[in-house]
Chains A and B, each alone.
Chain A
Amino acid sequence: DQQVKQNSPSLSVQEGRISILNCDYTNSMFDYFLWYKKYPAEGPTFLISISSIKDKNEDGRFTVFLNKSAKHLSLHIVPSQPGDSAVYFCAAKRIPGNQFYFGTGTSLTVIP
């Protein structure tokens, strides 16, 4: 049972434009959310996180938005750069808790 879902397997965006990656979850007990970025042949790298007490967290070009009532989070990348081309995974967990639940990933291509 997939508790974290990324319904768009791929996304293409023009360089300089905004990239919006979406993630939905089913477990209302999740209270910590993360985005990871993965290049081919490498492990995922942590990008940005948000706890359930916030609805927005910003780090440079990356902003994560959380809508708890809709059980939805999104990652905005502005402006998008070709180096942002990668697979992006969202993940969720309960705190305290051991287990992270990952989505299936969205492959982002930023076109120069």
Chain B
Amino acid sequence: GAGVSQSPSNKVTEKGKDVELRCDPISGHTALYWYRQSLGQGLEFLIYFQGNSAPDKSGLPSDRFSAERTGGSVSTLTIQRTQQEDSAVYLCASSNLEETQYFGPGTRLLVL
């Protein structure tokens, strides 16, 4: 079946603009994660959705970051008033078990 897809694959924006990143998880997966990877860094956890439960937002770096998951499927990560330090690869992963995640190809965000 289809894997996790993310769009856009690349995004260049100007400092101060808002961006929206989309994730389509694997059909039937109840858990969805957002991570980001800055240059030379590991994967940094941002937010986690599980079914209809309240999301775990403990990894969001500031209130400029938000995410939603509509209908238990597609998720959108929104970054408001982007800053240059937001430049990174944003990765989405989905899972139907606690143990294993399946990652999308990522969105490469560059804030000028």
- Residues of A bordering B, CB below 8 Å: 2, 4, 6, 32, 34, 36, 41-46, 49, 89, 91, 93, 95-105
- Chain B residues close to A by CB (< 8 Å): 4, 6, 33, 35, 40-45, 48, 50, 56, 58-59, 91, 93, 98-106
Q: Does B91 contact A43, Cβ atoms closer than 8 Å? A: yes
Min C-beta distance of A52 to chain B, whole Å: 12
Closest chain A residue, CB of each to CB of B31: A98
Interface SS of A by simple majority: loop
Residues of A within 8 A of B35 (CB): 102
26 contacts between A and B (CB under 8 A): A32-B98, A32-B99, A34-B99, A43-B4, A43-B104, A44-B43, A44-B103, A45-B103, A46-B100, A46-B102, A95-B98, A98-B48, A98-B50, A98-B56, A99-B45, A99-B48, A99-B56, A99-B59, A100-B33, A100-B45, A100-B101, A102-B42, A102-B44, A102-B45, A103-B42, A104-B42
Known: A34-B100, A43-B105. A105 touches B42 (CB 8 A): yes
Q: How far is the CB of A99 from chain B (nearest CB, A)?
A: 5
Please tell me which one of the listed residues A49, A95, A103, A104 contacts residue B100 in the complex, with CB atoms under 8 A apart. A49
A101 touches B45 (CB 8 A): yes
- Nearest Cβ on chain B to A91's Cβ, whole angstroms: 8
Contacts of B41 in A (CB 8 A): 104
CA distance A104 to B40 in the complex (A): 7
With a 10 A CB-CB cut-off, give which of A4, A41, A98, A99 has the most chain B CB atoms. Answer: A98
Q: A41-B105, A105-B42 are in contact. Are A97 and B59 (CB under 8 A)?
A: no
B41 CB to nearest A CB, Å: 6
